[in-house]
Structure 1
Amino acid sequence: MVETKGKTLLVFGGSGLVGMDILRQALANPAVTKVVAPTRRPLPVSVTHYAHLENPQVDFSELPDDAPWWRADAALCALGTTLKQAGSKAAFRLVDREYVCAAARLSLRAGTRTFVLNSAVGASARSGSFYLRVKGEVEHDLGAMDFRSLTLVRPSILDGGPRPDDRPGEVMGLLISRTFKPLIPKRLRAVKTSDVAAAMLQAALTAPVGQQVIESNAITRQR
């Protein structure tokens, strides 16, 4: 049996839907004794009332390279934005690739040897889709780092309730996925954010050696 007691987890992107589900599940898990969730703005009181949550406010363009919380048993990353939110392809790449890789490098340098990424179905550095190409580039970058355990989780459309930001394309895709579910291939069906979070948390706690990819249709089976 894999020993999972007393784990310290580092969570990036804790203010998003997947990130918030990761925090809720991790904070309720008896195997986790400390969670550090660096964010730009303070997290809501629904999670900050937990005594074992640390929520440092950071600027992801100037991350503190000497913070003691970089060292953890595992880092989970759900950082991400949209082209509309970012305003340009360069700004999107900055958040979804550069910020993610910067956090990964600093975590690894501090001794965090397990990293779990929330990526996307179809991610490929050779994709014709800019979004999927960036996701693939991030996966490639992380794969070149010396993590003992690297897990890439590739969900399809996320089903996690209303978002704080406007994403009409995602809303339409979710509606289509729900309406025509029997006709849609399993790997492209909508997946609950809570299931994505559960798959990521399990990977963080069990820390399988090497690199593994969890495709969207396998996410619910990881629970």
Structure 2
Amino acid sequence: MRAIFAVSIAMKTTRTPPDLNSSSDKIFEFIAHNQDKRIRIEYFGGEPLLNLKWILAFQERIAHIKHTASMTTNGYLLSQENMQALVQRNVKAFQITLDGLKEQHDKMRPKCGGGGSYDQIMGNIKAISALKEHFYIMLRCNFNQHSSSPEQRAQFFKNLDFINGDHRFALLFRPIGLYSEGNNTITPERKQACHSGAPICRALGRGRRKNRAFY
């Protein structure tokens, strides 16, 4: 078995940064030198889709080298057209984060100029689900004690019903971290939010045996 060789490429600005342009040859040479290994490329940020043109060009450049490529994105710019362009260039695995329902998500992930991002992201996911291409999308679903009531959980699954039966999609549930004083502190509220989600997930799993994406 060949060793796995992972290459992570961070995108941190709204424009293709000069240091990334100047590093393109070095990154390419680095990959080419190790093409006897199993190469995995991960694009992340910031937001990698702000540098979509660079990614597409780079993927074309390494098309002759066997590799897999994935991307962690907020999904806001992952339109159906952009998705097709990426998949055609061998970027076929994605992680997109949803922070609960619209109200909670827009509160946690507002746009820089104001307003929410939920509708755009959900619209993109729905449009992508209509594609025939083969890809894999992990929807990371963050929650806390304020967004995990039985009613909210049921509505969350209902909103994603259009991916029911589509094995290109999977769900990953994670509690929202406390990125301040007391980070990673286990409180009774956080424990309840985690454990209270189990019954409805099991119930949905029993009712959706044909859809592995829901468990």
Structure 2-normalised TM-score?
0.41
Q: What is the TM-score of this pair, normalised by structure 1?
A: 0.39
- Rg larger in 1 or in 2? 2
Point out which structure has higher relative CO (alpha carbons under 8 A, 6+ apart): 1
